[in-house]
Amino acid sequence: MFKRLMASLGVGSSKVNLVLDKEQYHIGEPLKGRIIVEGGNVDQEINTLDVDLVMKFNIRGKQFSKTVETIKVARNFYVKAKETREVPFEHYLPFHYPVSKGSVAYYLLTRMDIARAVDTGDTDAFTVMPGKDMALIMDALSALGFREKIGSGKIEKYGQEFDYYPTGLFEDKLKGLGVKFFREEQNIKMFLELGVAGGHMIPAKHHTELAIPPGILAGESVEKVAGYIREFIENELKLVAAQGPNNIPAYHNYQGHQHGHGRPGFGGFMGGMVAGLLGAAVLGSLFDGAENEGAEGADAAGGEEGDGGGFDLGFDDFGGDDLF
């Protein structure tokens, strides 16, 4: 009786521990590991075993911590005293997750709801890396002399933006390069903002887009991809010299994608799922009034750090059946 009383207070109660196979995972591959449940001094009934995937990020000076998904692992099972159980854990990382750059960070919160006792949990940080195609494009940009700026990877309205400064080849022609990645079926498109150098103190901003053909990426050749991007940028610079810059970002024509229940989000963009996490009201308070996302001086306003509704991301739960 005494042991059961103490277990209800958390002393000698069951414990849970999520052990990941590694700390870094690439977009397009699954998080993998195992969940270890260790029985305490008495038999106990477990109501739920869930894992929250949590993302922390900063938008225009405002900090957010959001549960991206809750992965339902098991329901209604018993753990005997001193018993140890393990269950495999796996969760796919889709393209619209932002990578761990700038202010973006991730962790998993494992929660075990114990009947008539203090609940227990476990926290594990992990890093999201670019997928194979995106990493190849980034390597190609590096080969062309582009280097990421400090703070690159910030979250904007349409997703995650990567900022570069040129060295070598384009050093005298560009002051900067902004890149957003967009996946359309099997194709990857780059929305580019070229800071074109000129006689003015403030460089002209030219917006354009480049679709990388699957055949170019399939060869996994950095040199080939770099050559394709180089030719495109050189042609765009000639176009700017002849006709002037395009000041309107092409992605402003994208009104979002429909997910599970018909509510919009910017799921095609790398990091586009953030729109769904924040909801329309908070998103609007952060970005409304800025015709161009790169505009300076926008104030970060409104928004609670709890789960704000709004967009539906259409994510599927992992598991959900009784695994024990």
Q: What is the pLDDT along the chain (324 residues), one digit of tens a residue?
A: 434 433 343 434 689 999 999 999 999 999 999 999 998 788 889 999 999 999 999 888 889 999 999 999 999 999 999 899 998 999 999 888 999 998 899 999 999 988 765 567 889 999 999 999 999 999 999 999 999 999 899 988 888 999 999 998 999 999 999 999 998 777 899 999 999 987 665 668 999 999 999 999 998 999 999 999 999 999 999 999 999 999 988 777 665 544 433 333 455 888 887 877 877 667 677 766 543 444 333 233 333 333 333 323 333 332 333 333
Last-in-domain residue among 220, 237, 252: 252
DSSP string covering 218-229, please? HTT-HHHHHHHH
pTM beyond 0.85: no
> What is the C-alpha R_g of the chain?
24
Residues 146 and 218 in one domain: yes
Residues 65 and 113 in one domain: yes
**277: in domain:** no
Cα 18 from Cα 34, distance rounded (Å)? 6
Residues 33 and 115 in one domain: yes
Last-in-domain residue among 108, 129, 150: 129
Residues 86 and 168 in one domain: no
Each residue's pLDDT tens digit, 64-92: 999 999 999 999 999 999 899 998 999 99
Residues 140 and 220 in one domain: yes
User: What pLDDT shows up at residue 8?
Assistant: 42
Residues 153 and 117 in one domain: no
**318: in domain:** no
User: What pLDDT shows up at residue 119?
Assistant: 64
Each residue's pLDDT tens digit, 233-287: 999 999 999 999 999 887 776 655 444 333 334 558 888 878 778 776 676 777 6
For residue 189, the enclosing domain spans 132-252
CATH number at residue 30: 2.60.40.640
Number of domains the chain contains: 2
User: What pLDDT shows up at residue 255?
Assistant: 54
Smallest CA-to-CA distance from 123 within 228, 276, 19 is with 19
The structure tokens listed for 77 are 């099972």
Residues 41 and 73 in one domain: yes
**63: in domain:** yes
Q: What's the gap between Cα 40 and its chain centre?
A: 37
Residues 160 and 89 in one domain: no
Residues 65 and 175 in one domain: no
DSSP string covering 70-118, please? EEEEEEEEEE-TT-EEEEEEEEE--TTSPPS-TT-EEEEEEEEEETTS-
Q: Other CB atoms closer than 10 Å to residue 293's CB: what's the count?
A: 18
Residues 10 and 119 in one domain: yes
